[in-house]
Amino acid sequence: MKEFPGAGGLILNEPLLWEQGRRGRSGYSLPRPDVARAEPPAELAGEGPDFPDLSEAEVVRHYIRLSQWNFSVDAGFYPLGSCTMKYNPKTNERQASRPGFAGAHPLLPAALCQGALELMAALECLLAEITGMDAVTLQPAAGAQGELAGMLIFHAYHRQQGRPRSKIIVPDTAHGTNPASAALCGYTAVPVASNERGVISPEAVASVMDAETAGIMVTNPNTLGLFEENIRAVAEIVHGRGGLVYGDGANMNAVLGQVHMGEIGVDVLHLNLHKTFSTPHGGGGPGAGPVCVRRRLEPFLPVPRVRYADGVYTFSDDYPLSIGKLQAFWGNMGNLVRAYSYILSLGAANLKRASQLAVLAANYIKERLKGVYHLPYDRPCMHECVFSDKLQQAHRVSTLDIAKRLMDYGYHPPTIYFPLVVPGAIMIEPTETESKETIDRFIEAMQAIAAEAEQSPDTLHQAPTRCRRRRLDETAAARKPRLTG
């Protein structure tokens, strides 16, 4: 009998912060007062917030116990589709925490922050070369803000052309953020259905692309893990009618060194450094979402931009067509240092190999699980593969049950019920940093769960049983929201 990672373990209970502590305790080393006490005006003074007082040891134990209730990619296989949960290299953490970067004030004059500016300029060049685009901004805080930047660039470009437009084409295989980002610029999303091969057809785009349409948002590879093979034809139609092509680069991990995004017609592309470029996701951020553009859109990039002249790096605000600013300062520097370190550690050949191995792993899982689970699009995939629960429905077992049962086996579930074009979708993205043994063991777990679905479906309905908590009542949480304690 093979042993899966999932096991019972000693999980310690831990109350909420304010259910412990005693007034008068402290976990903070206050500096010695060396100036006189000053009295603030009495009418402004408040009593301060009602926080619990805890000792340092209590705080440490609290968060250590909490940390042990979390699944993380450092602890186990995390095949969450579309999220690229690859290994987060530890050297990146060391580089980002260097006092020169971590301790730097953002408003230092250029002469006092040459190191950060040089790093930013170099990272922009690296990302431009990797994507095949011409200019890069590092400012967006996450992928969704990158999308917003992209839509603002569309908006500014069309206004400058003297012809503002009101609509944007969003295929059904796009990320949910796409329409929300477009709406912030006042665009109405025009949906386009993917064809029977799971990709966009040029005809469908031609039928809706008009002079009122600002362009199209394409995720390539798309959320089915398929390469949008008609992208050049689609781009030609959109460009021919005065529109622009937005590339959602969330799935860039599939095509490093394979595709030159500039040449296939993409005008604006965002990257998720916390996916493709190995910066940790932090349980929901911070991320970083640089945006790459073709030359003609460079004037619209957010300010300030890093410039280099006479051996000195400076920030410049002198871009009158710029969309403006997205964050108070310059971008999530900590993650920029990490991504820069990652790219320098790998180099061109290893980045390309990373994509090759990511695609190999996804195809390997697809082939080995085909037949065990329903595969709606049976063709070579890129970095992720999408199954469904169609075969298990006969036993009244759903995608949710399969996902929850995987936890008992010691795996984080794949992305489920997305993309929407596949009912009951199970979207698996293994990434290149998982060994063949890990992937084989996961495949065996998926096979064992499919067998359980037939023989003892209730085991799946009851799952998970080995986690800190069993299934939680999300309905009660939403009906009577309790958002603070």
Footprint on residues 282-301 left by another protein (CB under 8 A): 282-287
Q: Which is nearer to another protein, 1 or 89 (CB)?
A: 89
Query: Which range touches another protein (CB under 8 A), out of 76-84, 211-219, 293-301, 452-460?
Result: 76-84
Residue 106 neighbours by CB under 8 Å, 6+ apart: 329, 330
Least separation in angstroms between CB 395 and another protein: 16
Q: Which of 177, 184, 195 is nearest to 250 (CA)?
A: 177
Q: Which is nearer to another protein, 76 or 242 (CB)?
A: 76
CA 397 to chain centroid, in Å, comes to 29
Q: Classify each residue of 351-361 as buried b or exposed e, where b means 16 or more C-beta atoms within 10 Å of its C-beta.
A: bbbbbebbbbb
Query: Which range touches another protein (CB under 8 A), out of 63-71, 211-219, 238-246, 387-395?
Result: 63-71
Rounded Cα distance between 462 and 404, Å, is 9
Print the binding letters for residues 225-244 with another protein: x by CB under 8 A, - otherwise: -xx-x-xx------------
In three-state secondary structure terms, 96 is helix
Rounded Cα distance between 439 and 430, Å, is 8
- CA-based torsion, 394, 396, 400, 402: positive or negative: negative
Q: How many residues bind another protein (CB under 8 A)?
A: 204
Q: Which is nearer to another protein, 374 or 404 (CB)?
A: 404
Residue 280 neighbours by CB under 8 Å, 6+ apart: 88, 93, 274, 338
Does 326 sit near another protein (CB under 8 A)? yes
**Residue 434 parent element (H or E):** none
Rounded Cα distance between 149 and 325, Å, is 9
| DSSP-derived secondary structure for 345-375 | HHHHHHHHHHHHHHHHHHHHHHHHHBTTBB-
For another protein, which residue of 88, 201, 213, 219 counts as binding (CB under 8 A)? 88
Q: Which residues pair with 306 in a beta bridge?
A: 315
Residue identified by tokens 């030159």 is 260
Q: Which is nearer to another protein, 2 or 23 (CB)?
A: 23
Least separation in angstroms between CB 460 and another protein: 14
Does 319 sit near another protein (CB under 8 A)? no
CB 340 within 8 A of CB 347: no
For another protein, which residue of 276, 335, 388, 392 counts as binding (CB under 8 A)? 335
For another protein, which residue of 193, 203, 260, 378 counts as binding (CB under 8 A)? 260
Residues 413-452 that bind another protein (CB under 8 A): 413, 415, 417-418, 432-436
Print the binding letters for residues 5-44 with another protein: x by CB under 8 A, - otherwise: ---------x-xxx--x-xxxxxxxxx-xxxxxx-xx--x
Residues 118-157 that bind another protein (CB under 8 A): 118-119, 126, 129-130, 132, 141-145, 147-148, 151-152, 155
Does 370 sit near another protein (CB under 8 A)? no
For another protein, which residue of 8, 9, 10, 99 counts as binding (CB under 8 A)? 99
Print the binding letters for residues 458-477 with another protein: x by CB under 8 A, - otherwise: ------x--xxxxxxxxxxx
Rounded Cα distance between 375 and 379, Å, is 9
Does 269 sit near another protein (CB under 8 A)? no
Q: Which is nearer to another protein, 163 or 436 (CB)?
A: 436
Q: What are phi and psi of 106, to 5 degrees?
A: -70, -20
Residue identified by tokens 């940390």 is 67
**Residue 192 parent element (H or E):** strand 188-192
For another protein, which residue of 12, 63, 193, 316 counts as binding (CB under 8 A)? 63
Print the binding letters for residues 165-204 with another protein: x by CB under 8 A, - otherwise: -----------xx-xxxxxxxx-xx---------------
CB 202 within 8 A of CB 183: no
Q: Which is nearer to another protein, 1 or 32 (CB)?
A: 32
Torsion, Cα 146 149 155 158, to 10 degrees, reads -90
For another protein, which residue of 205, 333, 426, 449 counts as binding (CB under 8 A)? 333
Least separation in angstroms between CB 161 and another protein: 15
Torsion, Cα 160 164 166 170, to 10 degrees, reads -30
For another protein, which residue of 150, 202, 280, 290 counts as binding (CB under 8 A)? 280
Does 407 sit near another protein (CB under 8 A)? yes
Least separation in angstroms between CB 374 and another protein: 19
Query: Which range touches another protein (CB under 8 A), out of 211-219, 281-289, 293-301, 385-393?
Result: 281-289
Q: Which is nearer to another protein, 145 or 213 (CB)?
A: 145
Q: Which residues pair with 245 in a beta bridge?
A: 216
Q: Which is nearer to another protein, 7 or 64 (CB)?
A: 64
Q: Which residues pair with 388 in a beta bridge?
A: 374, 425
Q: Which of 331, 257, 280 is nearest to 72 (CA)?
A: 280
Q: Which of 25, 165, 49, 71 is nearest to 408 (CA)?
A: 71
